[in-house]
Amino acid sequence: MSWDEIARQADEKGDWDRAISAVSAVAECYGSDASLHNAHLWHMDLLARAGRLDELAALGQHDVHARRRLKRHLSDEGDSGSVRPL
């Protein structure tokens, strides 16, 4: 089974750790392969949906996609909480 099939099945079941593990193993923020960039964006989305906001904030120190996803999550939740976008 491919990484994206594993991740998709885990995502559908809400098995965040497995989905994140499968996607993060191949994700590339910038690169020539669009599917690996999409995996990076999916990784950021999975972190937000899993509530791993501290991890997303840490990545956001150097990753614009992580910052944007964290800001969107906080805005959607109407909660700035203890995690602040950078």
When pLDDT is averaged across residues 63-71 and rounded to a whole number, the result is 96
Per-residue pLDDT band for 83 (boundaries 50, 70, 90) equals: low
The runs of H, that is alpha helices, within 1-86 are: 3-13, 16-24, 34-49, 53-60, 64-77
62: Cα separation from own chain's centroid: 14
Q: What is the pLDDT at residue 8?
A: 96
The pTM (predicted TM-score) of the whole model is: 0.87
Each residue of 36-45: pLDDT tens digit?
Answer: 999 999 999 9
